[in-house]
A and B are shown apart, each in its own frame.
Chain A
Amino acid sequence: MKKALIIACCVGIVLLAFSPGCSRKTNYKGKIGVTCMDLTNPFFKLIANVMQAEAAKYGYEVVALSAELDPAKQNNQMSDFVAQGYDAIFLNPVDSKSAGEGVKKAYQAGVPVFTYDVDVSDEGAKNLVVSHIGSDNYQGGELAGESMMKVTGDRGNIAIIGYPEATSAILRVQGFKDYLKKHNSNLKIVTELSGKGNRDDGYAVATDILQAHPEIVGIFAINDPSGLGTYSALVKADKTRQITIIAFDASPAGKQAVFEKKLYDSPQQYPRKMAVGTVEAFIKYLEGEKIPKVIYILCTHYYLDDAAKDPSRVAEQW
């Protein structure tokens, strides 16, 4: 029994050492719980870090947890945030539908929930979220459409490599198509297949597209990994001069690829702005101001010129 107590004490000491409570400053106001899909993804890690720095300015400590792509784990993390009486929860749902239960729990306990990047689509929980802060994927898709018309001279056949499992990707493709339609484009979309948002599947599906439609002049891939997979397929088929790729995200790898002229454009998302915007929405909430239900962060073009003078490309950052 003595030993058990000793072990428990050791655990306590370890926890104390790790616990951020020791270094509390005088302007300490409270805690914000952040739970996101996957903290091993640099995109989300960056957002969490920026939130931490931004919230610290107002005296809030951010505790960022990773749901490791498990919706049940995320649900548990929400329960813990609620039990501890955190001042707010910033939620990046693993699954738009199943995140609803956690949101309801938080709402009943009076903890305001803000979603970022991905929103909650559960009908019963949607309206309980204070505000959603995310990229305007539809508008980003329009930018991609604009670039596609420009680079192809608005002539020829094109293909889309999508990812119909993800809402963000659906919106990008929708914006892309609507832009072409609105501007009476002569471009013809001959095929639209799923590259599952990753490099390997992007490569495989692009290879198949080149077999079926060797005449195409452009490909819109809904994110950088599938765009870069497509590029590998073009290299293999020796078609890099004939076909232009437009990707999406301007991730570190995408920025470099634009700089190396592998991609023509990669409409840029702003994870930093998203993080700052979420914290600002919370502060406005505390001020008692009315906050819009959705706050969109606009995407911008990312061309060769942008890449050439972009220090974040050299630093390999978002």
Chain B
Amino acid sequence: MMRKAMSDYGMVFVLLGLCLVFSLLTIKEQVPGNDTAVSELMTRIRSDFKQDDVILVVGAARKDSEQFAGKMGEELKRQGFKNTRVVVGIPSDLRAALDEIKGAGAKPAALIAGPDVMKWRVIDHIQANYPEFSGCRILTPKTWLWPDFLKASNLLAIVDRIVVIAVIAIGMTMVIIAGGIDLSVGSLIALSAVIGTLVMKKLGGLDAPAWVVPIGFMAGIAACGIVGGLGGWIVARFNVAPFITTLAIMMVGRGLAFMITGGFSIYQVPKALPWLGQGRSLEAPNTVILVLVLYAIAHVFMSHTRMGRYIYAVGGNKEAARLSGVPVFFVTVFVYIVSSLAAGLGGCIQASQINTGTPNMGMMYELYVIAAVVVGGTSLSGGSGKMLGTLIGAFIISVIQNGMNLVGIESYTQQVVLGAVILGAVLLDKARNSGGISALLWRKR
């Protein structure tokens, strides 16, 4: 049982390994927002300073830093340091505060700030610019180490970038399991996004009410369904290779997106548009909920319904499937329609994330999606694969992209690394299926 789970979802370990690596690589000093840092500083201040000393607490205009400065200021005032002053903002705000103190003829005895504020050059040059403040001591709280990769805001950023690829990968998994391939999804993203935003623009633009948004989305998704369904029909009816059919659909879709917009982006959209891609409901981001729900449905569909089993049958052996009464034609058209609808939904999500419809969205996305599906363990020759494996595959791609940006690897190198990791992952998968790395290497040809 355990062994089977391991071979089905071995990629989970690759994903965990990657997370571990990126966590180690992005460990950094973090500004403490907690009370221990404040109380630790308080003991130092109580012993070194008098109650009427001027104490300046500085925080940068970012949440953690602001929180720390706020708590510190409150605590100081509570303990009787009545000349405490809290400055939260950007370097010029600190400079203004220093000028004001200087103007009042006062002199700060201490300046308290986190390591992020310490990088401001105002602080480096305080001696040079304000010679009268010579006795001022600069205090920083003890920082703690924590990987940037594992910060909540970053984990959300990973899900944000994965959502489009993950949603489209649902349809792509079905297509690939059924023995096909769909190269058109990238340009369908653009088609759906521009049609959706164009409908919203026509129905009122910036001042349109919220109900315009779902109508736009439906128009975009429906258009993709029609264009993609046409491709599926050609593949099924005339038995044309799906590679070349969907390649043609890809060009048609991209061209239509440019034709419709004339090359411009559409930004006159209702205020409700960002809700899907950026909003929250029930304390969780909508994108996370959407991905979880869609994958749950897709998993049940593929493993517990007759249609799901038909898809596996068509991909495994089309002729055998036909002879055993599987409606091959219907199944083939169906998977391509699902794939294009998923791409349409992906386009809506992306339009919502960047609050615009642009005809050059989704370039190369078909390749990322196919990579996610294959890394997730679905065989390109059809007939086998798992929906949840695809989700893991999508996470792997997204974690690599995000992690490389965090570590600060340049764009050129990123492509090499991403390509190498995809190769490594599929080779690993191959090795697992043919009984170990040595078996793969020494197999007779």
Contact = CB atoms under 8 A, between A and B. Distances in A.
A269 interface: no
B361 A83 contact: no
Interface in B392-443: 401-414, 417, 420-421, 424-425, 428, 431-432, 437
Interface string A70-102: 111001110111111101000000110110111
B21 to A, nearest CB: 4
Interface in A22-47: 29-31, 39
Contacts of A19: 25, 407-409
B249 to A, nearest CB: 20
19 contacts: A3-B432, A4-B14, A19-B408, A19-B409, A63-B409, A64-B410, A65-B405, A68-B411, A69-B363, A72-B362, A76-B401, A95-B356, A109-B62, A110-B60, A165-B264, A287-B125, A288-B96, A288-B122, A290-B92
Contacts of A71: 265, 354, 356, 358, 360-361
B25 A21 contact: yes
A63 B13 contact: no
A283 interface: yes
A76 B420 CA distance: 22
B6 interface: yes
A77 B411 CA distance: 11
A11 interface: yes
B154 A83 contact: yes
A235 interface: no
B353 A283 contact: no
Contact of A98 (B24, B354, B405): B354
A14 interface: yes
A65 B410 contact: yes
A94 B354 CA distance: 12
A41 to B, nearest CB: 12
Interface string A146-162: 00000000000000000
Given A14-B417, A15-B404, A1 B6 contact: yes
A31 B121 contact: no
Nearest to A288: B95
Given A71-B358, A71-B360, A98-B265, A30 B119 contact: yes
Contact of B120 (A15, A31, A288): A288
B408 A97 contact: no
Interface residues of A, number: 62
A285 B62 contact: no
A18 B264 CA distance: 38
Closest 7 CB pairs of A and B: A8-B17, A110-B62, A288-B95, A98-B356, A4-B13, A80-B405, A12-B21
Contacts of A30: 119
Contacts of B401: 76
Interface residues of B, number: 81
A83 B353 CA distance: 16
Contact of A64 (B21, B24, B354, B411): B411
Nearest to A289: B92
A70 B193 CA distance: 13
Contacts of B360: 69-71, 94
B116 interface: yes
Interface string B334-377: 00000000000000001001111010111110000000000000
A21 B411 CA distance: 16
A16 interface: yes
Contacts of A69: 360, 363
Contacts of A102: 354
B364 to A, nearest CB: 8
Given A83-B151, A289-B92, A39 B424 contact: no
B405 A7 contact: no
Contact of A79 (B90, B160, B404): B160
Nearest to A5: B17
Contacts of A237: none
A285 B410 contact: no
The listed residue with most B CB atoms (<10 A of its CB), out of A20, A64, A85, is A85
Contacts of A11: 17-18, 21, 417, 420-421, 424
B305 interface: no
A288 B410 contact: no
Contacts of B121: 283, 286-288
A112 interface: yes
Interface string A286-298: 1111100000000
A70 B355 CA distance: 14
A63 B274 contact: no
A135 to B, nearest CB: 22
Contacts of B324: none
